[in-house]
Amino acid sequence: MNTSVYWFILFLLVSNFINGQHMRSLTPEEKRVIIDKGTEYPFTGIYTNHKEKGTYHCKQCDAPLYRSADKFDSGCGWPSFDDEIKGAVKRFKDADGRRTEIVCAACGAHLGHVFEGEGFTSKDTRHCVNSISLVFRKDQATTPAKTETAIFAGGCFWGVEHLLKRVDGVLSVESGYIGGKTPNPTYEEVCTGLTGQAETVRVLYTPSKLSTEELLQAFFESHDPTSLNRQGGDIGTQYRSAIFTTTQSQEDIAHAMVEGYQKALTEAGQGTIVTQILSVLVSGPFYPAEDYHQQYLAKNPDGYQCHARTGVACPLPGSGPLGSAQ
């Protein structure tokens, strides 16, 4: 055994004893590899092709050594990692100087060897580790962040969708129709203005990242809410300004936002907000639009946008996710 390795392990054993460090009892085969620095046969270890997300710990002392994100398939027959958890692994030259041994920095358990210059990954490093030296711990499941849905009408849905999907905290957007009496309307039917349906965008967002106030601010600043049944050159009730809420909180916030924005618009000499605020319980169901309308401007960057803005920022702290209206 390399003299430096011997003294390092002796130091760790004494330190662990003094500090009460828990050391797992090893089976004879585990002892052969971990203590006596043996090697398990290639392609026999349980973690060679292991792909779950989590952390690999030392079999002897349970110290975390490697993350699954740093594991890769080298085809060598042993688990391979191109990086270790900072400070978790120590390196020592073998007695013959030909290879570099890696051991657990916490207890000195033999892990395997490290190689460089092989070009497997961008880090150009391969920790070749015996599965028997490791214990895997799955990542703890995280509680999904709470999401909410709100639906907005502000002119042609191509532009509304394009503007709102850029707001940080918005998870998804979907163009569709809501607010009328005709079930499952087609785009052609809605364009007649006889269905009562509005061109709308259903927005899924994360309130912990994007508050309802900030989302409404983005909506108000993305179009002209003082324009009745019209945005730019698009005219008709299908192009009306409206907010279709899915919770009472959204409805309350929307009314408060209209009140605050109206004051700002009045001071700027602008007109009266005509945005409707309706619960989906009253407005009826949302009908997704035809596939070719979804992400329309992403697929057609030079496509038509009808939106004009008031030039007055909706009064919230800061300038809002879309910046000041132009």
CB atoms < 10 A from the CB of 43, how many?
Answer: 11
Secondary structure (3-state) at 234: strand
Output the DSSP codes for 28-90.
HHHHHHHTT---PPTT-STTTT---SEEEEETTT--EEEEGGGEE--SSSS-EES---TTSEE
CB 178 within 8 A of CB 284: yes
Rounded to an integer, what distance in angstroms lies between the CA atom of residue 273 and that of residue 195?
Answer: 24
**Nearest 5°: phi and psi at 32?**
-60, -40
Is 128 designated active site? yes
Both structure tokens of 230: 């019209």
Secondary structure (3-state) at 146: coil
Is 76 designated active site? no
Rounded to an integer, what distance in angstroms lies between the CA atom of residue 87 and that of residue 105?
Answer: 7
Select which of 58, 104, 107, 128 is catalytic.
128
Select which of 58, 104, 107, 156 is catalytic.
156
Both structure tokens of 151: 């639906």
Give catalytic residue positions.
128, 156
